[in-house]
Amino acid sequence: MNLLKQKIRTEGIVLSDSVLKVDGFLNHQVDPVLMQEIGEEFASRFAGEGVTKIITLESSGIAPAVMAGLRMGVPVVFARKRKSLTLTDQLYSAGVYSYTKNETNEISVSTDYLSSDDVVLIIDDFLANGQAVLGMLSIVEKAGASLAGIGIVIEKGFQNGGAALKDRGVRVESLAVVDSLENGSVTFHNEEASLK
């Protein structure tokens, strides 16, 4: 996705060798046109897989997931990080450890909105160590649903989440894979550092 890589290059901020801040178009301010293109790209990559439902995690996964759902003609369920008083239903839940926040959150999806008939596409904004996606995978398994694959906006290729998922035989489609953030600059996968 060239538009996405261009945005990362021009607006992404490398805070350290492991932290890429994209608050300008994905994690705080959202660029709706970019989200539309991302949604169309996910729809294209997972066309023909019989996807019936997209699962994402609040909050930054919602915009790309809803754009993909619009294009694919399927509903989107965002897993919640904490329970609401009006969520009176039965829940599928999983624990997700966040290395950046150093805490474990329980994420949940109502049993009303995921069943064994579903074929699920999981979408998330970032893939680093894979904890959030593994939590969503656990929820999909608890529901007895099938998995079409995982769509990631930005994968940190230098962390182990992508490899761990591929080792499980899961299809992972990442629209931009960052191989390094060293020396304050972004190197994408399959690109010479000199092309930065």
**Distance (Å, rounded) from C-alpha 73 to C-alpha 53?**
9
Q: 113: Cβ–Cβ under 8 A, 6 or more apart, which residues?
A: 53, 75, 77
Contact between 85 and a second copy by CB under 8 A: the answer reads yes
**Distance (Å, rounded) from C-alpha 185 to C-alpha 16?**
10
Q: Least distance (Å) from a second copy to the CB of residue 62?
A: 5
Residue 130, annotated as binding a ligand: yes
Contact between 156 and a second copy by CB under 8 A: the answer reads no
79, two tokens: 């897993």
Label the pairing between strands 103-110 and 119-127. Answer: unpaired
Contact between 148 and a second copy by CB under 8 A: the answer reads no
Identity of the residue, 29 or 163, whose beta carbon is nearer to a second copy in the bound complex: 29
Q: Which stretch binds a second copy (CB under 8 A): 33-41, 131-139, 154-162, 164-172?
A: 33-41
Contact between 19 and a second copy by CB under 8 A: the answer reads yes
Identity of the residue, 23 or 191, whose beta carbon is nearer to a second copy in the bound complex: 23
**Distance (Å, rounded) from C-alpha 101 to C-alpha 68?**
28
Contact 165/150 with Cβ under 8 angstroms? yes
Contact between 112 and a second copy by CB under 8 A: the answer reads yes
162, two tokens: 């992508």
Q: Least distance (Å) from a second copy to the CB of residue 177?
A: 19
* Residue in 63, 54, 55 with CA at minimum distance from that of residue 26: 63
Q: Which residues pair with 56 in a beta bridge?
A: 78
Q: Which stretch binds a second copy (CB under 8 A): 2-10, 109-117, 150-158, 179-187?
A: 109-117
The contact set with a second copy (CB under 8 A) reads 15, 19, 21, 23-25, 27-33, 35-36, 58-59, 62-63, 66-67, 69-70, 73-78, 80, 84-89, 100-101, 109-110, 112-113
